[in-house]
């Protein structure tokens, strides 16, 4: 069985916009509903006014629910079945419905740890009750790094994901509540209930890897001295939509986050093709949002994905779309088709390693695409794929969405690798304040530990099919980029 990629982002209901995200509402002319209420991305010329685009939306019987005039992207809703055609014209560069462009969140297996084992009295990483099971932290030399710094509370990492449990004992003191928000539907809601998890604890697990507190309970994060902000982008049905991604990047940029973690890809198609008329506006809107955040001083970290795909030499997309909107099809693709946000310029793309420091069997890779590697877990290498060893996954904070209880548990994926890299970046920024995104990305790469390509065809799980991979490159290569991130090297 091929493991699906880790994905996280979505959309849903519209609420009041937060400060800093320029928004306007335009009343549409009265009209009887001719179709389902549908969300659209409307692109206005970048750098100019979005007023003409807003007027065209109203004239086409639509309403603006969010106006990101900073990047010329408007989120609109309309029941007019001809809205995309009617809204086109002067002041509008592109219009695209996002219906059917929702990516399902792939949770993967979570193995919980008994709560009683997570309670003790301690005050350092080696003394946290579950520290002995955090092989991943020792692998990146975290104890040595913490002797230098555990991170500065001035550094905030935005977790663009499924929300963070604000009641978790390892996270309650770590969340920047004033910077947290839901971006469902592409529209901001800052209520605490809105950015807490509802149907997924993926974001809670990611947040714990970044910044779980040193408090004598549970686990420690890579950078327990920094803050995390919940930027919820996964709806209750577990879907991801591009308007939420746009909202998330802009919110992070406008609210002082220096780093974001993005463990997802956008679109039910694994690769977003710029030469596809329907997908092009999605590409353009997300690119604008990412570029805007970078210009505001944000380093965006993204997971490479869990499909064991060579992102440098992709030719076929065989499992998309994955949201049930259309039959799964096999598409021939080329260099115009990219994995967003992992392949967007300026984004730090992270592959996953296991306890042997070799590429995790599921991790996607690619020379010139992967920048660094980080522990993401590999629960199959010990048995060649025949069965799972949960303790070789990543142990972090969890939230049981059925019982509504906090806990700790194991997950694996490049979704777990990304937050290790984001956490190391947060430590590095704490030790070296003032670094700009490009400088911080360069520091991550320069201080990573180079890992060599395995010889020949690599496949640590021969009992499973579809996991062969071939590494290309030398000291910097397709499996590991510049190497596995190292917390101590980054702060000393």
Q: What is the pLDDT of residues 63-75, one digit of tens each?
A: 999 999 999 999 9
Strands (E), 192-291: 227-232, 239-240, 259-262, 272-273
Q: What is the pLDDT of residues 324-374, one digit of tens each?
A: 444 444 444 545 566 678 878 899 999 999 999 999 999 999 999 999 999
User: Region 138-148: what's the mean pLDDT?
Assistant: 98
- Give the CA distances from residue 242 to residues 245, 254, 271, 463, in Å, rounded to whole numbers and listed in that order: 5, 19, 13, 37
Strands (E), 202-296: 227-232, 239-240, 259-262, 272-273
In this prediction, residue 11 carries a pLDDT of 27
> Is the predicted pLDDT of residue 273 greater than 70, yes or no?
no
In this prediction, residue 341 carries a pLDDT of 81
Indicate which residues carry an active-site annotation.
Answer: 161, 202, 415
Domains of the chain: 38-100 (3.30.70), 111-491 (3.40.50.200)
Q: Which of 19-33, 266-280, 326-340, 441-455 has the lowest mean pLDDT?
A: 19-33
- CB–CB of 80/209 below 8 Å? no
> Is the predicted pLDDT of residue 89 greater than 80, yes or no?
yes
Q: What is the pLDDT of residues 146-173, one digit of tens each?
A: 999 999 999 999 999 999 999 999 999 9
- Give the CA distances from residue 354 to residues 139, 373, 407, 480, in Å, rounded to whole numbers and listed in that order: 10, 10, 23, 12
**What contacts 231, CB < 8 A, 6 or more positions away?**
158, 159, 160, 161, 180, 181, 183, 195, 248, 251, 252, 260
Structure tokens at 426: 């947060």
Structure tokens at 364: 């996607």
Percentage of the chain with pLDDT > 70?
Answer: 84
Say how far apart CA 373 and CA 339 lie, in whole Å.
Answer: 17
Q: What is the pLDDT of residues 7-50, one digit of tens each?
A: 332 222 222 223 334 443 334 444 445 789 999 999 999 988 99
User: Region 76-82: what's the mean pLDDT?
Assistant: 97
- CB–CB of 206/163 below 8 Å? no
Percentage of the chain with pLDDT > 90?
Answer: 72
- CB–CB of 395/133 below 8 Å? yes
Q: Which of 55-64, 337-346, 394-403 has the lowest mean pLDDT?
A: 337-346
Q: Which of 100-104, 451-455, 464-468, 487-491 has the lowest mean pLDDT?
A: 100-104
> Is the predicted pLDDT of residue 476 greater than 90, yes or no?
yes
User: Region 270-296: what's the mean pLDDT?
Assistant: 80
In this prediction, residue 14 carries a pLDDT of 25
Say how far apart CA 469 and CA 309 lie, in whole Å.
Answer: 8
Say how far apart CA 273 and CA 317 lie, in whole Å.
Answer: 11
Strands (E), 233-379: 239-240, 259-262, 272-273, 299-303, 316-320, 329-332, 337-338, 348-353, 372-375
pLDDT band at 272 (very low <50, low <70, confident <90, very high): low
Say how far apart CA 171 and CA 335 lie, in whole Å.
Answer: 41
User: Region 79-88: what's the mean pLDDT?
Assistant: 96
- Mean pLDDT of the chain, nearest integer: 87
Q: What is the pLDDT of residues 378-389, one digit of tens each?
A: 999 999 999 999
Structure tokens at 428: 């590095």
- CB–CB of 387/424 below 8 Å? no
């Amino acid at each position: 069985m091929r493991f699906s990629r880790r994905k996280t982002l979505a959309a849903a209901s519209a609420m009041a916009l937060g400060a800093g995200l320029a928004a306007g509402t335009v009343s549409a002319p009265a009209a009887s509903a001719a179709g389902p209420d549908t969300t659209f991305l409307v692109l206005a010329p970048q750098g100019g006014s979005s007023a003409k685009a807003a007027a065209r939306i109203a004239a086409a019987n639509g309403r603006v629910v969010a106006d990101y005039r900073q990047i010329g992207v408007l989120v609109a809703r309309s029941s007019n079945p001809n809205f995309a055609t009617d809204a086109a014209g002067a002041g509008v560069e592109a219009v695209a419905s996002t219906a059917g462009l929702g990516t399902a969140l792939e949770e993967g297996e979570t193995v919980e740890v008994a709560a009683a084992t997570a309670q003790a009295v301690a005050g350092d990483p080696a003394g946290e009750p579950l520290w002995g099971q955090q092989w991943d932290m020792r692998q990146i030399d975290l104890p040595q790094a913490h002797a230098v710094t555990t991170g500065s509370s001035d550094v905030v990492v935005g977790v663009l994901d499924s929300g963070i449990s604000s009641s978790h004992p390892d996270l309650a003191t770590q969340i920047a509540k004033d910077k947290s928000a839901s971006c469902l539907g592409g529209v901001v809601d800052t209520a605490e209930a809105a950015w807490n998890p509802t149907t997924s604890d993926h974001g809670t697990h990611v947040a714990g890897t970044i910044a779980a507190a040193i408090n004598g309970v549970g686990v420690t994060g890579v950078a327990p001295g920094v803050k995390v902000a919940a930027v919820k982008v996964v709806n209750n049905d577990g879907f991801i939509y591009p308007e939420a991604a746009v909202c998330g990047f802009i919110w992070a940029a406008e609210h002082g986050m220096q780093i974001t973690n993005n463990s997802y890809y956008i679109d039910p198609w694994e690769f977003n093709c710029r030469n596809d008329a329907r997908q092009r506006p999605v590409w353009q809107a997300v690119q604008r949002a990412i570029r805007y955040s970078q210009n505001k001083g944000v380093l965006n970290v993204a997971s490479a994905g869990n499909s064991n795909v060579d992102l440098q030499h992709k030719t076929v997309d065989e499992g998309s779309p994955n949201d049930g909107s259309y039959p799964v099809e096999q598409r021939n693709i080329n260099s115009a088709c990219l994995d967003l946000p992992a392949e967007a310029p300026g984004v730090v793309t992270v592959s996953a390693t296991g306890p042997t420091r070799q590429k995790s069997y599921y991790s996607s890779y690619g020379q010139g695409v992967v920048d660094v590697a980080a522990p993401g877990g590999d629960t199959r290498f010990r048995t060649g794929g025949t069965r799972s060893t949960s303790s070789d996954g990543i142990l972090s904070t969890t939230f049981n969405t059925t019982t509504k209880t906090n806990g700790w548990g194991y997950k694996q994926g490049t979704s777990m690798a990304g937050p290790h890299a984001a956490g190391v970046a947060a430590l590095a920024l704490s030790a070296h304040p003032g670094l700009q995104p490009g400088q911080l990305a360069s520091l991550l790469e320069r201080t990573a530990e180079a890992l060599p390509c395995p010889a020949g065809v690599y496949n640590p799980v021969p009992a499973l099919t579809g996991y062969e991979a071939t590494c290309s490159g030398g000291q910097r290569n397709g499996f590991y980029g510049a190497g596995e991130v190292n917390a101590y090297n980054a702060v000393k």
